[in-house]
Amino acid sequence: MSIVSLIKGESYDSSLLYHQIERSLENIRFDPTGLKGATVAVKPNLLTTAAPEKGITTHPEFLRAVIKFIKAYGGEPVLVECPAFIPLEKVLAKGGYMEILLEEKVRISDTKITANLRNESGVKYKYFHVAEDLVKADYIFNLPKLKTHSLTYFTGAVKNLFGSIHGLEKSKWHIRASSAPEFISFLLDLYGGWYYLQNQGTVHIMDGILGLEGEGPGASGKPKAANAIIAGYDAIAVDSVAIRVAGLDLKRSGVCIEGERRGYGFSSPDKITIAGNSLSDFSNSFVPPKSKSMVSAWPFNSPFFKNLLVEKPVPQPEKCTLCYQCRGICPANAIDKSSDGKVPSYDYSKCIRCYCCAEICPEAAIELKKGVVARLIG
Ligand code: SF4
Ligand code: SF4
């Protein structure tokens, strides 16, 4: 059984948030006295430069409340985050995080310094280079955002730890694990590394006050309040509760279903004790991401079938500013300079449908268009 705290949180009022974080940790019987003198790696979701009201990133006031809590009990917080494309300093400055970190005198980790993380029981991958400060910390406070995800259906506590891998190294994993099932399996191999890192206390506290629905996790999704703060030691259980709080379909989360099968945690409702509010206190109905044809086996993963079946990313000229962030992040080198002066050129035979470009595009200019066959069969 896993215990998960679920409490109502309807605003980012900093004085309320501190007590809500405190209550969340009490609900999971976290002993804060252990924080005294401890190094605590704080890992928010800072995917890109986005205003807090976009629902893409962990809210700065949420981060502030967690930092204040750690410091109140004598811990030393260290901010650890590896945005995909944009330098961390820029993300921190634009999102309103930098002033909080300066006020609270929080060190910012240099995530180019990496350490090995091992998961001997990984199905395919057993070694990962991750931010050293996360591995060395006495505690990890993982602060995911509640969001839908075009590739993996949902992104929460498990997926947020993918941000332990530095910058564009992340997109290389999309090449190695290029279909949705392979990518989910990789995420769980990586999560297993954290799961087995026994010298740490890892706590997941999800910012589900304002979430994201539709084509998340970037600007193509739509902000939507879920009014929830969800916490626990078991990332899979935290994600399971978050999915149900959002009114999404737990069965469609490969991370939750396969994560429980591998023994990394519990996603089945009957194996999770919820402390605090109950699920019936929430009546959210988040719009899921468009259904993908999860074709991973030959011949369906060939360019021919892929173009017929799987949604492809198509940049829209009326929104595109030709900033080329999509080109910079594309792990398959499928995006080239514009040939028409309006949008970048896409080579769909190279595209592996990882949707990193849609995730990173600051203008929400990349729409996912169904393949011909998928359109015909609805
Ligand atoms: S599609 Fe988006 S990320 Fe790509 S160039 Fe246009 S605005 Fe930039
Ligand atoms: S074009 Fe977009 S979806 Fe295709 S491989 Fe590149 S980043 Fe991924």
Torsion sign across C-alpha atoms 107, 109, 91, 58: negative
Kindly state the DSSP code that residue 289 receives in the 8-state scheme: P
Residues of the chain with pLDDT under 70: 198-200, 291-309, 371-378
Q: Give the CA radius of gyration of the chain.
A: 20
- The residue contributing the CA closest to ligand 2 atom 8 is 354
Amino acid sitting at position 329: I
Residue 168: the pLDDT is 74
Q: Classify strands 272-276 and 2-8 as parallel, antiparallel or unpaired.
A: parallel
| Residue partners of 126: CB distance under 8 A and separation at least 6 | 118, 119, 120, 189
Residue 261: the pLDDT is 97
Tens-place pLDDT, residues 309-335: 678 899 999 999 999 999 998 888 999
Contact 158, 187 (CB under 8 A): yes
Tens-place pLDDT, residues 81-121: 998 778 899 999 999 999 999 999 999 999 999 999 999 99
Tens-place pLDDT, residues 115-162: 999 999 999 999 999 999 999 999 999 999 999 998 899 999 999 999
- The residue contributing the CA closest to ligand 2 atom 4 is 351
Domains and CATH numbers, the chain: 2-281 (3.40.50.11440), 303-376 (3.30.70.20)
| Residue partners of 131: CB distance under 8 A and separation at least 6 | 41, 80, 82, 109, 111, 113, 114, 115, 164, 165, 166
Residue 302: the pLDDT is 57
- CB of 48 within 6 A of ligand 1: the answer is no
- The residue contributing the CA closest to ligand 1 atom 6 is 320
Residue 292: the pLDDT is 55
Pocket test for ligand 2, best of 330, 343, 345 (most atoms within 8 A of CB): 330
- CB of 315 within 6 A of ligand 1: the answer is yes
**pTM score of the predicted model:** 0.86
At 251, list the tokens.
Answer: 């069965």
Contact 92, 101 (CB under 8 A): yes
Residue 339 CA to ligand 2 centre (angstroms): 18
